Chains A and B, each alone.
Chain A
Amino acid sequence: MSEAFVKVRDLRKTYEVRKGLFGRPRPLHAVAGVTFEIAAGATFGLVGESGSGKSTIAKMVMLAEPPTSGSLEVGQRDLTRLGRKEKDRFHMELQPVLQDPYSSLNPRMRVGSIIDEPLRVHRMLGGAGRRAKVAELLDLVGLPPDAARRYPHEMSGGQRQRVSIARALALDPKCMILDEPVSALDVSIQAQILNLLKDLQQRLGLTYLLISHDLAVVAYMSERVGVLYLGEFMEIGRAEDIVARSRHPYTQALIASVDARSGGAAARLVSGEIPSPMNPPPGCPFNPRCPHAVDRCRSEKPLLRQVGDGQWSACHLADTLPPLERGAPQAGHARPAAAAAA
């Protein structure tokens, strides 16, 4: 494995929340101590439900939100100690692609100006150079050259997401933060964008931090996966280990819900919803919804510990947890076309 490009150590974000005008401020732990690394040229996937803290982590890595504590290192630089100039340079190396290509593109600008805006802001290349760069970027993301003259509203969701990707690539970044890059897109378009992102990673050697609520998308894109719940990792490991040999009941519940959708047995679906981070339950954050919880889970918080090669689980019962019976996929589900041909 190549060297880590992104290093995140014990990252925390705590907000002070007041109830009413005169209420005493109480801490809300949006991110409660998260540690991971992303190897250069690899993808790390953060998966979790709403309120799990995945977007807060992304914001901190992008320096859009200062961490409360912990260390953040990108490309050997300590992000918590950057001067203004260095911050500018950092922003050129790390670019975001956001969820909604409808609200993230300026409706009054033509696609060409949207894409070369980062170049203008950073005073790079002359007019002719920028035009050549825009043409090159459009081609890279699979848009025709005349797209530069169009407005975002003249384009479909998939094309707009290609424009956001082109803009993110304008400054030749080394790393991209992909925050739910396909969840606002139509089903038939999602695969196009995911494949495009994979191809770009290969061609340009990009490092990705991918954020998604969809475990199947995360598994498809990532080498390593971290499963977040109430601001903490429940499990972290290689994508194939997380999917095939999960050692945490929450991960297993996520897998079961994806399987149940695509035809597997609906076993091990969990009840209840993610609790408010204002009132996290004592002990393991997942214990109120966990089908395996015992007394210890309600009083003592489990710490992440190694359960396999590069695999860590924050569950007291990780060693005795029954493996998830995934049941063979029903014929035709994985390969509908093959079934049609049979």
Chain B
Amino acid sequence: METILEAKNLTTVLRGRSGVVTAVDNVSLEVKAGRALALVGESGSGKSMTCLSMLGLLPSNGRLAAGEVPFKGRDLARMGRKELEKIRGREIGMILQDAMTSLNPLFTVGDQVGEVFRIHQGVRDKAMLRRKCVEVLEKVKIPAAEERLDSYPFQFSGGMRQRVSIAINIAMSPDLLICDEPTTALDVTVQLQILGLLRELQQQQNMAIVFVTHDLHLASQFCDDVAIMYAGRIVEAGPIREVFHQPAHPYTVGLLKALPSLDTYSERLTAIPGQQPALTRLPQGCRFEPRCVHAVDACRSQYPDWFEWDGGRRSACWRTQDMLLGRLDPRAGAVAPAEQGASR
């Protein structure tokens, strides 16, 4: 399968009050044409920063310290601002969490969707612009698109605003759509509508999608591949169904068990003890080791190498083989009283 976007050994440093931290640490991933990759992690894991690094959208205190970002044969990391601007919005779209903040409240929806055609296609004719806007709004299933062109964003519901934002980003039929928590601000029943729409558009237009989320369950319903980030690094990656059915990294296992579901709500939840380390105080070895029930001496002294196996899977854990062979007690430390002490 053709790889459309890659990150190779991406490293991004951020300058902050407490010194310089490595927010994205040696991250490599591949986005295949027409497939959806989920980039899963908690806040501060570096998932959004990885996307911003790839697109050259780092905040002023951030700097890409190393790495390449090949996109259709060109390296985005070595591209000038002007060149990147041409690619973003035309070949790569980006959808953010809250459409209320990504749409301009002072312009009508028609103005904002039309802007894409004005800028990227040089369309000036008003009637033509309207026709194109209606067409793309219909694609994202906004009812009565023609009448709603003259409405303002605040007159739309949250779900409809997110549809507008999707329309703007797919108008140029990009090869890649980056969605950063696109449904987190929406109600549960609306979340699935938006994801269904994204999936449909992806198949229609044969787009690749990078879906940034904290929700591994949601991602598993929507994506083909997954990369799970923890404290700035990818800890496990592979086709999402397999990762879901046989997680190899203890952090992935923990994430899958940590949320109540409607099948297991009567049993006590297995919490992951402790919390993600601050980037200023990373442990010497594996970054998950202080919270890991399977940790051994090697985990404390050295960051694990990648362990790779069939089907494009990889895990950064010294105990991957034990895990895969079922040599680890999955219930080890399951309800240890220590889980209460999140005092690290």
A residues neighboring B (CB under 8 Å): 49-50, 142-144, 147, 156-159, 162, 186-192, 194-196, 198-199, 213-217, 219-220, 239-240, 243, 253-255, 257-263, 266, 269-271, 273-274, 326, 329-342
Contacts and interface: CB of A to CB of B under 8 A. Distances in A.
- The 5 closest A-B CB pairs, nearest first, are A337-B330, A191-B271, A142-B340, A220-B260, A186-B42
B42 A269 contact: no
Interface in B259-290: 259-266, 268-273, 275-276
B189 A254 contact: yes
B335 to A, nearest CB: 9
Nearest to B340: A142
Given A143-B342, A215-B262, A273-B157, 17 more contacts: A144-B343, A156-B276, A186-B276, A187-B259, A188-B42, A188-B291, A195-B271, A195-B339, A196-B340, A199-B340, A253-B189, A255-B262, A261-B192, A269-B192, A273-B189, A274-B187, A336-B247
Contacts of A339: 245-246
A191 B259 contact: yes
Nearest to B334: A337
Given A188-B276, A257-B188, A340-B246, A217 B256 contact: no
A334 B328 contact: no
14 contacts: A186-B275, A187-B255, A191-B269, A192-B339, A195-B340, A213-B187, A220-B269, A254-B189, A258-B188, A258-B261, A266-B196, A273-B157, A333-B244, A336-B247
B193 interface: yes
A335 B330 CA distance: 10
Residue among B196, B255, B263, B266 with most chain A CB within 10 A: B263
Contacts of B57: none
A337 B266 contact: no
A161 B304 CA distance: 33
Interface residues of B, number: 63
B100 interface: no
B326 A217 contact: no
Contact of A219 (B158, B215, B265): B265
Contacts of B271: 188-189, 191-192, 195
B333 to A, nearest CB: 11
Contact of B261 (A216, A254, A332): A216
A221 B264 CA distance: 12
A219 B254 contact: no
A271 B193 contact: yes
B323 A261 contact: no
A136 to B, nearest CB: 15
A262 B158 CA distance: 23
Given A50-B187, A188-B272, A219 B247 contact: no
A194 B264 CA distance: 14
A340 B247 contact: yes
B244 A269 contact: no
Interface of B: 42-43, 157-160, 187-193, 196, 214-218, 220-221, 244-248, 251-266, 268-273, 275-276, 291, 323-324, 326, 328-331, 339-343
Nearest to B272: A188
Contacts of A259: 262
Main secondary structure of the interface of B (DSSP, over half): loop
A257 B261 contact: no
B326 A340 contact: yes
Which of B157, B191, B275 is the most central at the interface, judged by chain A CB atoms within 10 Å of its CB? B275
Given A338-B330, A340-B326, A143 B159 contact: no
Contacts of B254: 188
A195 B269 contact: yes
Contacts of B269: 191, 194-195, 220
A219 B260 CA distance: 8
B188 A213 contact: yes
A144 B256 CA distance: 28
A263 B259 CA distance: 14
Contacts of A194: 260, 269
Contacts of B331: 337
B259 A336 contact: no
A156 B291 CA distance: 15
Contact of A336 (B214, B257, B268, B340): B257
Contacts of B259: 187, 190-191, 216
A194 B260 CA distance: 10
B301 to A, nearest CB: 24
A336 B256 contact: yes
Given A216-B262, A266-B192, A340-B247, A192 B218 contact: no
B261 A262 contact: yes
A188 B217 CA distance: 13
A194 B326 CA distance: 29
Contacts of B187: 49-50, 213, 273-274
Nearest to A253: B189
Contacts of A192: 271-273, 339-340, 342
A279 B263 CA distance: 37
Contacts of B220: 263
A255 B324 CA distance: 33
Given A49-B188, A186-B214, A336 B245 contact: yes
B272 A341 contact: no
A339 B331 CA distance: 12
B342 A240 contact: no
Nearest to A145: B343
Contacts of A270: 189
A156 B43 CA distance: 11
Given A192-B273, A334-B263, A260 B221 contact: yes
B245 A273 contact: no
A257 B191 contact: yes
A337 B260 contact: no
A330 B241 CA distance: 11
Nearest to A260: B192
A337 B273 contact: no
A331 B256 CA distance: 13
B189 A261 contact: no
